[in-house]
Chains A and B, each alone.
Chain A
Amino acid sequence: MVETPDTKPKLGEPHPEDAGVSTHDLKAWFVREVLPLEASLVQYLRTAWRAGDDIADLRQDVYVRVFESASKRLPQSARPFVFAIARNLIIDRLRRNRIVPIEGVPDLDAIEVASDEPGPDRKTIARDELRRLRLALDRLPPRCREAVILKRVEKLSRPEIALRMGISENTVKRHLADAAHLLANMFYAEQPGAGGEE
């Protein structure tokens, strides 16, 4: 039996006294509360979902459910909310696919995700934001890093970056796109401490 936290309204049922959360508030909450949980979430999904499906797809489905549910009302505590959704999603999939008995899904308590305390990852991010940024930057391919600094720090346009780096605008675009993917994964998907932190 899976219990969803009290703070969470039932999926698909609008909260009676609530007209819904503004996109602005929802976004702010999602970025502040949900994204920092991504590393733990991905780890949980890997442990719980052994069917070899793409974890990125699963994570996306979790985010979609989080979005739909939280847009009716923001939960008081993000962590148990997100992990309950993840667990329910996996149980739904397992039931549908009849692969693994439901008892095979790791309990939330067992992997210590249901705590109200912000996870160590979040604290680390807050404390070492600059250090993490620097490490992330160091791990980008050099041309990619150069392009992203010229774009984000120096605020140059793509043609100006092409000029400065002596490459085509399309190559600049590719470097920036690569950087955006890599940074999102470094900041959110990876466990803090992964990837060469001293």
Chain B
Amino acid sequence: MTPTPKSHADAKAVEAQAVEWLIARDEPDSWTGEKQAEFEAWLAQSPAHQTAFWRVEASWMRTELFADLRPFGFGAHRAQPQRNRPWQSSFRIAAVASLLVAAIGLGATIYFRQPETQTFSTPIGGRKILTLLDGSQIELNTNTVVEIGTGENQRHVNLLQGEAFFQVHHDPDHIFTVTAAGHRVTDLGTKFVLRTHGQALEVTLLEGKASLEPDNVRVGEPLILNPGDVAFTNGRSVTLEKRPGRQLDESIAWRKGLLIFDNTSLAEAAAEFNRYNAAKITISDIDGKQFKLNGAIRVNDREEFARLARNLFGLRVEQRGNEMVIRR
């Protein structure tokens, strides 16, 4: 028998490749120009590739309509308050596994115990909400990097840079800890904000309770924080101050994309603004502390900031390249 001429690869293999490209393209963070070019070359190789891709792509695009199904009862995928505590069983498995590993040898134990982490970050001006398996949420502010343990280690977070709001699903059996620059915050049923300043850490407690163990300056029991407490530690000292509710709201206004100024000096306001914008504002030749601002502004509205400086204080605003200079 003459074999049927097969000008095209096996359809299953082609479809698998098409799917591979389809889901790779759905990850904007890792989809580079290089990959795009490689993908286009693959498409151009054969009409079999082209049509297989169109087919899986078309059905994939239709899944966006799933959002419309929600009113009919979808959305049960949202993390519910823990019912069956999935990590408990995985802890048990992990315990058994580590016994086995211990029997194999110390070297192997160290290898398997190496905690795996995932890193998440936001660019300047970015904001991102991460939801954990147990429903806890971490909201990253501008220019922030966190490292989160995988699997049962999810409740160990390392804030490497920036600022984040934590809303923790409390579980006394599985503590939630955040470390930042060596300082450690442990959840006791909590909403809190952590902001790093180099080696220093600022903890603002909004609801519930948390404990703080500063690096180097630990004295006996950890410091227990209550709502309204703002703790600041730089590894050499710890300070604690109580803030009224209104000021607490201000400290999380960024979650709504706002900066709130309350008798804030122009210099501080500009510094705060610069955290969110790659194009910086500088204050030249004037004592920024003379000018006080009150009110709210969108974190990325540079034009409005310039207008306020001009209209409220009669200052001049110059554009130097990317930089905005405020001067007399």
| A residues adjacent to B (C-beta < 8 A) | 27, 30-31, 35, 38, 53-54, 56-57, 59-61, 63-64, 66-68, 71, 93, 96-98, 129-130, 133-134, 137, 145-146, 148-153, 157-160, 162-169, 173, 176-177, 179-181, 183-184, 186-188
A38 — which chain B residues lie within 8 A by C-beta?
55
The 6 closest A-B pairs by CB, nearest first: A166-B133, A60-B11, A67-B47, A63-B51, A56-B11, A152-B63
Q: Is the CB of A152 within 8 A of B132?
A: no
User: CB distance A152 to B66 under 8 Å?
Assistant: yes
Q: Is B48's CB under 8 angstroms from A60's CB?
A: yes
Cα–Cα distance between A170 and B1 once the two chains are bound (Å)? 43
Q: Which of B15, B19, B23, B69 counts the most A-chain CB atoms under 10 A from its CB?
A: B23
Q: Is the interface of B mostly helix, strand, loop or mixed?
A: helix
Contact A162 B118 (CB under 8 A): yes
Return the chain A residue nearest B75 by Cβ.
A149
Chain B contacts with A in 29-46, Cβ cutoff 8 A? 29, 46
Q: Tell me which residues across on chain B come within 8 A of A169, comparing CB atoms.
A: 118
Whether the Cβ atoms of A133 and B48 lie closer than 8 Å is: no
Q: Name B45-60 residues within 8 Å CB distance of A.
A: 46-48, 50-52, 54-56, 58-60
Sample (17) of A-B pairs whose CB atoms are under 8 Å apart: A57-B11, A64-B8, A67-B51, A96-B2, A133-B66, A134-B69, A134-B72, A150-B77, A153-B67, A153-B70, A157-B27, A162-B118, A163-B154, A164-B132, A180-B59, A183-B60, A187-B62
Chain B, residue nearest A165 (CB): B133
Query: Which of chain B's residues has its CB closest to A64's CB?
Result: B47
Name the prevailing secondary structure of the A interface residues: helix
User: With the chains together, A130 CA to B154 CA distance in Å?
Assistant: 36
Any A CB within 8 A of the CB of B74: yes
Name the distance in Å between B217's Cβ and chain A's nearest Cβ: 32
Specify which of B8, B58, B150 is in contact with A162 (CB 8 Å cutoff): B150
A133→B29 CA distance, assembly (Å): 28
Known: A98-B1, A177-B20. 6 other contacts (CB 8 A): A60-B8, A163-B132, A166-B154, A168-B150, A181-B19, A183-B59
**Residues in chain B within 8 A of chain A (CB atoms):** 1-2, 4-8, 10-12, 14-16, 19-20, 22-23, 26-29, 46-48, 50-52, 54-56, 58-60, 62-70, 72, 74, 77, 79, 86-87, 118, 120, 130-133, 148, 150-151, 154
Partner of A151, one of B11, B26, B67, B133: B26
Q: A60-B11, A63-B51 are in contact. Are A180 and B56 (CB under 8 A)?
A: yes
Q: Which residues of B contact A183 (CB under 8 A)?
A: 59-60, 62-63
**Please, which residues of chain B bring their CB within 8 A of the CB of A188?**
55, 59
Indicate if the CB atoms of A130 and B130 lie closer than 8 Å: no
Q: How far is the CA of A181 from the CA of B60 in the complex (A)?
A: 9
A68 CB contacts on chain B under 8 angstroms = 47
Which A residues are in CB contact (< 8 Å) with B148?
Answer: 163
Closest Cβ–Cβ distance, residue B259 to chain A (whole Å) = 26
CB-CB < 8 A to B131: which residues of A?
160, 163-164
* Contact indicator A64/B69 (Cβ below 8 Å): no
Contact A133 B27 (CB under 8 A): no
Known: A31-B54, A165-B133. A176 touches B59 (CB 8 A): no
Contacts of A27 in B (CB 8 A): 54
CB distance from A188 to the nearest CB of B (A): 7
Contact A67 to B12, CB < 8 A, known contacts A31-B58, A134-B72, A173-B23: no
Q: How many angstroms between the C-alpha atoms of A166 and B20 in the bound complex?
A: 22
How far, in Å, is A32 (CB) from chain B's closest CB? 9
Nearest A residue (CB) for B6: A57
A71 partner residues in chain B, CB cutoff 8 A: 47
